[in-house]
Structure 1
């Protein structure tokens, strides 16, 4: 695939994601003349216990605009448990960080992310507009592995597509089930 075709494909993906995210949001509005009743109580509310939130710096791996190499970004992730840390890292992996740090995971729907005995199992859905050629698919797998394998408790990653263990992420690169940390 030529560089101009790759750039065109990436531009299309970014444009499609931008347009999808720009939908109008309906916000409920109060009807004129309607009264909002507030609950009255003589007892003061008891404070709810708050969970201890940890914060950790992590490196998120994205790609450059030409899909030639990975780009590192350091972020702070808030979490309560190791499972929450994985979910926070995946959420950060799905965000672009400027015009030369693009996420290949942004248009991919994460149905679930589970951590059990050192293995992260991701169940994903890949819409047609998120499918890439072989170089993009390799980078998508690489950015996921680099992002998740930085955590010492992650020993392997298994990617399921719509609940199934597929042979390939997007039809070009074989997937191992699970991919093990080296």
Structure 2
């Protein structure tokens, strides 16, 4: 008789463990605050695209723009613009220099074909009139290569200023020709 009770008890314990292991008594999030709850998502996972693009830099003498081909990874058009602006801040050799490198990019937004680019220009980034023209030209050539970019609003510390560095008048916004 005790053997039957022991077997019954053992069978009960095995069954209870099996149910607990299979999630038979799933905890609710309120019962287990440390448990991560994963909600089903109707949104598809972001697709990472790659695109060849030209980043426009300048030669060492600051006389002309230099083309630098790159491959950009992105999942949205805004991310493509942000990736291009990030590449615009990198040198690509001794005869392909970035005039954007010392300029702080505060924000980049894309809305209805317009890129809003808010920057901070520290004193060490300020150039003469020819350098300032190249800064603006490299930005325009880099961003206007994308079909969806129709205009660029260049802001300095959140404001639409007359000039980026004090020499060249800025258009608000620059429009694709």
TM-score interval, normalised by the smaller of the two chains:
0.7 to 0.9
Q: Which runs of 5+ in 1 are unaligned?
A: 1-48
Q: Which residue in 2 is equivalent to 1:136?
A: 131
TM superposition score normalised by structure 1: 0.73
Q: Which residue in 2 is equivalent to 1:61?
A: 56
Q: Helix, strand or coil: the match of 1:101?
A: coil
RMSD between superposed Cα atoms in Å: 2.0
2: CA distance between counterparts of 1:155 and 1:50? 28
- How many residue pairs match? The answer is 139
2: CA distance between counterparts of 1:178 and 1:119? 8
Q: Helix, strand or coil: the match of 1:139?
A: helix
Q: Helix, strand or coil: the match of 1:103?
A: coil
1:8-157 matches, cutoff 5 A: 50-157=45-152
Ranges of 4+ aligned residues in structure 1 off by more than 2 Å: none
1: CA distance between counterparts of 2:100 and 2:72? 18
TM superposition score normalised by structure 2: 0.75
Higher-Rg structure is 2
Please state how far the C-alpha of 1:61 moved relative to its aligned partner: 0.2
Q: Which residue in 2 is equivalent to 1:13?
A: none
2: CA distance between counterparts of 1:123 and 1:69? 25
2: CA distance between counterparts of 1:180 and 1:51? 30
1: CA distance between counterparts of 2:83 and 2:102? 17
1: CA distance between counterparts of 2:60 and 2:91? 11
Q: Helix, strand or coil: the match of 2:87?
A: helix
Q: Which residue in 2 is equivalent to 1:159?
A: 154
Please state how far the C-alpha of 1:51 moved relative to its aligned partner: 2.5
Q: Which residue in 1 is equivalent to 2:4?
A: none
Q: Deviations along 1:79-126, whole A, 9 cap, x unmatched?
A: 010000000000000000000000000010000000001000100000
Q: Which residue in 2 is equivalent to 1:176?
A: 171
